[in-house]
Structure 1
Amino acid sequence: MFTTSLTLNDLLFLLDGAWVTLQLTAWSILLGSLAGLLFGLLRALLPRASLPLAWVLDVFRSVPLLIQFVLFNALKSIVGLNLSAFAVGCIVLGVYAAAYFTEIVRGGVLAVPLSTRRASRSLGLSYLQDLRYIVLPIATRVAFPGWLNLVLGVMKDTALVMWIGIVELLRASQTIVTRIQEPLLVLCIAGLIYYVMSLVVARLGARLERRWQEND
Structure 2
Amino acid sequence: MLTTSLTSTDLLFMLQGAWTTIALTLWSMLLGTFGGVICGLLRATLPRATLPLAWVLDIFRSVPLLIQFVLFNSLKSIVGLDWSAFTVACVVLGVYATAYCTEVVRSGVLAVSPNVRRASRSLGLSYWQDLRYIVMPMATRVAFPGWLNLTLSVMKDTALVMWIGIIELLRSSQTIVTRIQEPLLVLCIAGLIYYFISLVVARLGNQLEKRWQEND
**Structure 1 residue 73 and structure 2 residue 73: aligned?**
yes
CA–CA distance in structure 2, aligned partners of residues 138 and 152 of structure 1:
23
TM-score normalised by structure 2 residue count: 0.98
CA–CA distance in structure 2, aligned partners of residues 16 and 38 of structure 1:
33
**Structure 1 residue 157 and structure 2 residue 163: aligned?**
no
**Paired AA for residue 154 in structure 1:** V
Task: Please list every run of 5 or more consecutive structure 2 residues that lacks an aligned counterpart in the other structure.
Answer: none
**Structure 1 residue 194 and structure 2 residue 199: aligned?**
no
CA–CA distance in structure 1, aligned partners of residues 42 and 128 of structure 2:
14
Task: Please list every run of 5 or more consecutive structure 1 residues that lacks an aligned counterpart in the other structure.
Answer: none
**Paired AA for residue 132 in structure 2:** R
The corresponding residue for 2:145 is 145
Tell me, what secondary structure is at the counterpart of 1:81? coil
CA–CA distance in structure 2, aligned partners of residues 124 and 38 of structure 1:
25
Shift of 1:48: 1.0
Shift of 1:96: 0.2
Query: Matches of residues 1-216 of structure 1 in structure 2 within 5 Å?
Result: 5-216=5-216
Aligned-residue CA RMSD in angstroms? 0.6
Shift of 1:35: 0.4
CA–CA distance in structure 1, aligned partners of residues 38 and 132 of structure 2:
14
Tell me, what secondary structure is at the counterpart of 1:58? helix
Deviation string, structure 1 residues 40-68 (Cα, Å, up to 9, x no partner)? 00000111111100000000000000000
**Paired AA for residue 106 in structure 1:** R
TM-score normalised by structure 1 residue count: 0.98
Q: Percent identity?
A: 79
